[in-house]
Structure 1
Amino acid sequence: MSETKTAEQLAIETKAAFEKSVDAVKAIAEEALGKAKSGETLAASIKERADEALTVMNELKARQTELEQKMARPGRGDERDDSLGEQFVGSDEFKGFVANQRQGASASLTVKSTDLTTATTNAAGSMGAGIVPTRAGMIELPRRRMTIRNLLMPGRTDGPLIEYEREVGFTNNAAPVAEGAAKPQSTMQIQDVQTRTKVIAHWFRVSKQTLSDVAQVRTLIDTRLMYGLALKEEEQILFGDGTGENLHGLVPQAAAFAPAFTPAQMTRIDRIRLAMLQVALAEYAADGTVLHPTDWAQIELTKDGEGRYIIGNPQGTAQPTLWGAPVIPTKSMTVGNFLTGAFGMAAQLMDQWDARIETGFQNDDFTRNKVTVLAEQRTALAVYRPEAFVTGPIMPAQGG
């Protein structure tokens, strides 16, 4: 049996044959050129030999190129990879198993995998770097639903200062008067009240490249800036202490809970009703109660002596209400406290600047390709009748 030649040997032989064929073509060409110069007519045999020599040369060139490509490829074209079965029967572990067969003996083959995988390491078969991720978009943080502004009387102002007169005292001496008798005099006390609009604002700084390359970022910035204003405004409406640039909120001005009477085993629901009574005794009608969602959940879970829910049906879709007035559950309210009042009549929110978005350059933003995105509003809160609001702890002194 003749020895199988390697790719290197075949390449050397093919290269030599190719060079020989090139020489043959050159010889035929020189012969034809010499006869053409002397005026001799080229015989048909010369043309046939030239065509044959060119064909042989082209075939050898193609063969040489093929061998060179095989030698350049990993794995070498002349080396045949054994199948898994051939590798297994040729392994030392299998040969030892055949030579020493006994109960419980076994043989195994560890295969070095070259399968394509999603790995991103620098190893054979790693294709992870070529995987294009599916982008589901930007997932925003949750937003709180704003509710308190909608409870108040809306208004607008063209100037920063709001003045109004609040009646703080009235002595009614009206009485039947006899003919010719002096008529009684009544008195009242008026208080001048001033408040002014306050600016609520914040901003982001972002690169122009980001705004240009990621369109969703601009939308997120705008909506998040506006949400931030609304969130801070709601906190100020409820709890602003009136100092500096803070609004004077409803809770700091509201009357403290002082029930007209104390029922036996007072519950959370009882306390809301008594707060509404306190508003009514101040000659106003409560049109809402603000609670933290945790406190409203405790009220909804209140049951009677037989385990039946007092507030509605768990499968129902009724809006939160107590004693005919809506309940507004919001995390802006502190846990364990309530605010009940005549929101639509006793307080007004006046806007001088509507909430808006502005962009511009700050400091060296222009030379650094930065853009400052600003959101701001200018608002005043006028609480005409503080006694029309009642606040206090939602937890009863005992029971409930």
Structure 2
Amino acid sequence: MNYLGAPQIAFDHTERGGGGDINVKDLMSAFEKRDEKLISELATVQVKTAAVAEQLAQIEQRIAEGDGGSFQSRDTGATVGEQFINSENVKGLLETANRRGKADLQLKASLTSLTTDAAGSVGAGMARSRDNMVLLPQRRLTVRSLLPQIQITTGAVEVPVQKDRTNNAAMVAEGAAKPQSDIQLELKTFNARTIAHWMKASRQVLDDVPQLRGIVDNELLQGLGLKEEGQLLNGDGTGQNLFGMVPQATAYSAPITIASATSIDTIGLALLQNALAEYPADGIIMNPADWLYIRLLKDAGGNYIFGEPGQTVEPRLFGVPVIATPAMTVDKFLVGQFQTAATIYDRWDARVEIATENEDDFIKNMLTILAEQRLAFAVKRPLALTYGDFGRVA
């Protein structure tokens, strides 16, 4: 059946037709050559497949029998020990006079997706979806920001502190002798103290996960800051401790009597005590629990004094900012003119150092990470600080 318009091929059954017609014998010969080539390629694939199957069979046999022989390089056939002693690094070390130093040999291992503690087990390092690391919460450090800070280059600071004054100022008649006043100074020395701590980390962890370096640094430096904040407030001055503000502050004593005084009243009276001592306060330090207690106080109608819970309230009492920190003991407070009361003298800024200098680190492939800072602290005007108790906790 012939379909009009369908493409047609006309064959000429001659050895060589004119006008470019296709020769049937040549066409059949071309098909035969192509088939021979495909058969040859298939045979090659079969040989290679058989070789792979043989290798897999050998591996399965070795696994079944438990191969306890020496690991050999697939490239050279040498054992690891032979490669090690013949490596240029080891030869150079052995040829030195004192044979001190370090030599290493890098070997290629078969990589697997296993997570076992074995060479080539890289399953733990394979790409996976990962969320951010979950770290322990960090306290917001606030006490240092209240105080002036000076950089020093020595290990101690001498500060002349006024111990007493004699004020004989008086009205003077014309031609009369003027009275003399005087002040008494005491030279005090404040030694720089070191705050430090360290931790161990594997070299592999730091090399494989560079972001951990920053996390370690932040954790270490945060630890220094927490210790410093506690020392600035409560250090007792013994041994290597700083002499903090709380032990040297003036004890709270209400200048006037208020009936049924609330916690807000107590802070108001402490501010008055500072003002009467000629040191108007620029800050109030208390525990977060005490600030929340004040924030939750209500009036006679049951309304929150500082506004509804949905409102944002700046921690401030009588116009003076409140600094809430867990470093302050619950039920206690410190009111002060901090900018004149005390000074921080930084000898070393906080820093982090990494070393592998001891033998234990070397043989265990570990790093020692050290963080430290050095500072002196001077409370110059104890009258500028008022320390007291809210009286709610027995």
- Residue 255 of structure 2 aligns to a residue whose secondary structure is coil
Higher Rg of the two aligned structures: 1
- Contact preservation (8 Å) 2:331, 2:393: no
- Residue 324 in structure 1 maps to residue 319 in structure 2: yes
- Of 354, 368, 371, which aligns to 1:372? 368
For 1:262, the equivalent position in structure 2 comes to 257
For 2:166, the equivalent position in structure 1 comes to 171
For 2:216, the equivalent position in structure 1 comes to 221
- Residue 184 in structure 1 maps to residue 175 in structure 2: no
One-letter amino acid of the structure 1 residue matched with residue 378 of structure 2:
A
- Residue 281 in structure 1 maps to residue 276 in structure 2: yes
For 1:73, the equivalent position in structure 2 comes to none
- Residue 234 of structure 1 aligns to a residue whose secondary structure is helix
- Measure the CA separation in 2 of the matches of 1:319 and 1:351: 31
For 2:291, the equivalent position in structure 1 comes to 296
- Of 156, 161, 166, which aligns to 1:161? 156
- Residue 272 of structure 1 aligns to a residue whose secondary structure is helix
- Residue 394 in structure 1 maps to residue 390 in structure 2: yes
One-letter amino acid of the structure 2 residue matched with residue 383 of structure 1:
V
Long gaps (5+) in structure 1:
1-130
- Measure the CA separation in 1 of the matches of 2:143 and 2:160: 25
- Residue 379 of structure 1 aligns to a residue whose secondary structure is strand
- Of 231, 236, 243, which aligns to 2:231? 236
Q: Give CA deviations for 1:39-63 in whole Å, capped at 9, x if unaligned.
A: xxxxxxxxxxxxxxxxxxxxxxxxx
**How high is the TM-score relative to the length of structure 2?**
0.65
- Of 141, 144, 151, which aligns to 2:139? 144
Q: Number of aligned residue pairs: give it.
A: 271
Deviation at 1:314, TM superposition (A): 2.2
- Measure the CA separation in 2 of the matches of 1:352 and 1:166: 21
Deviation at 1:327, TM superposition (A): 0.3
- Measure the CA separation in 1 of the matches of 2:230 and 2:393: 28
- Measure the CA separation in 1 of the matches of 2:128 and 2:172: 91
Deviation at 1:292, TM superposition (A): 0.6
- Contact preservation (8 Å) 1:266, 1:397: no
Deviation at 1:134, TM superposition (A): 4.0
One-letter amino acid of the structure 2 residue matched with residue 391 of structure 1:
Y
Identity percentage over the alignment? Answer: 49
Deviation at 1:326, TM superposition (A): 0.4
Deviation at 1:392, TM superposition (A): 1.0
- Measure the CA separation in 1 of the matches of 2:382 and 2:161: 10
Deviation at 1:175, TM superposition (A): 1.4
- Of 253, 257, 263, which aligns to 2:248? 253
For 2:197, the equivalent position in structure 1 comes to 202
- Residue 206 of structure 1 aligns to a residue whose secondary structure is strand
For 1:340, the equivalent position in structure 2 comes to 335
- Residue 284 of structure 2 aligns to a residue whose secondary structure is strand
Q: Give CA deviations for 1:193-234 in whole Å, capped at 9, x if unaligned.
A: 110111111111111112112333322211100110111110
Displaced runs of 4+ in structure 1, greater than 6 A?
A: none
Deviation at 1:140, TM superposition (A): 0.4
- Residue 223 of structure 1 aligns to a residue whose secondary structure is helix
RMSD: 2.3
Alignment of 1:18-37 (within 5 A): none
- Of 343, 351, 371, which aligns to 1:356? 351
- Measure the CA separation in 2 of the matches of 1:312 and 1:320: 12
Deviation at 1:361, TM superposition (A): 2.2
One-letter amino acid of the structure 2 residue matched with residue 166 of structure 1:
V
Q: Give CA deviations for 1:55-81 in whole Å, capped at 9, x if unaligned.
A: xxxxxxxxxxxxxxxxxxxxxxxxxxx
Deviation at 1:179, TM superposition (A): 4.3
Deviation at 1:184, TM superposition (A): 2.4
- Residue 212 in structure 1 maps to residue 207 in structure 2: yes
Deviation at 1:180, TM superposition (A): 4.7
One-letter amino acid of the structure 2 residue matched with residue 390 of structure 1:
T
Deviation at 1:362, TM superposition (A): 4.1
- Measure the CA separation in 2 of the matches of 1:233 and 1:308: 40
Alignment of 1:44-123 (within 5 A): none
